[in-house]
Amino acid sequence: MAQANPTFTGTWAIWYQDTFDQDSPPSVEVRGEGLVNGMVELWARYLFETVQADGQRGFSHFHLRWEQAKIDIQGDWQGARRLRWWMFGEKTESFSGYVQEADTELLNQVAHTHAILITRQQTAEPILALAVKVVNRTAFKDGLKNLVLP
């Protein structure tokens, strides 16, 4: 892969916004360090809460923020639905936390790929487009590797 450990200096925070209750102020869900760690937390929350198990869009919006930028997950909704299924299956409740409930290997690979794309000033769109294009989870994981080739 092009950059094995994409990093940035400083800490990040995952911000939550309830899109149903517009009067509810945004709040910090979690803080940490390391771009890949931030992407893991962002993707887990996005795929579990924003993308519902039934494929509907939830009322939770998340983004990662640090001093240099703000990162949202953007891209094809069908890809997000498919990726949610591969990541969480039919789970509708989390008892041990989103990251712990996810398919850890897949979550880490998606987060790492997104982190590399960010270092190239790209969004998550290629990840979600790939999820629509491929026929199964294995092909998706192989395709993620190709997204970050030099």
Residue 104 confidence (pLDDT) above 80: yes
- Domain count for the chain, please give it: 1
Structural domain contains residue 100? yes
Average pLDDT over residues 108-124: 94
Structural domain contains residue 4? no
Structural domain contains residue 2? no
Q: Which residue segment(s) compose the domain that 88 sits in?
A: 11-147
Average pLDDT over residues 27-36: 93
Structural domain contains residue 74? yes
Residue 118, SS3 per DSSP: helix
Question: What CA–CA distance (Å, rounded) separates 113 from 108?
Answer: 8
Structural domain contains residue 5? no
Amino acid code (one letter) for 69: A
Residue 5 confidence (pLDDT) above 80: no
CA 16 to chain centre: 14
Structural domain contains residue 96? yes
> Which tens digits make up the pLDDT trace of 123-138?
999 999 999 999 999 9
Average pLDDT over residues 102-116: 96
Q: HSE-up of 38 (CA within 13 Å, CB side)?
A: 31
Structural domain contains residue 65? yes
> Which tens digits make up the pLDDT trace of 41-100?
999 999 999 999 999 999 999 999 987 789 999 999 999 999 999 999 999 999 999 999
Residue ranges of the alpha helices (H) in the chain? Answer: 35-45, 77-88, 98-101, 104-119, 125-133, 137-147
| Model pTM score | 0.91
Question: What CA–CA distance (Å, rounded) separates 12 from 80?
Answer: 23
Question: What CA–CA distance (Å, rounded) separates 102 from 43?
Answer: 10
Structural domain contains residue 6? no
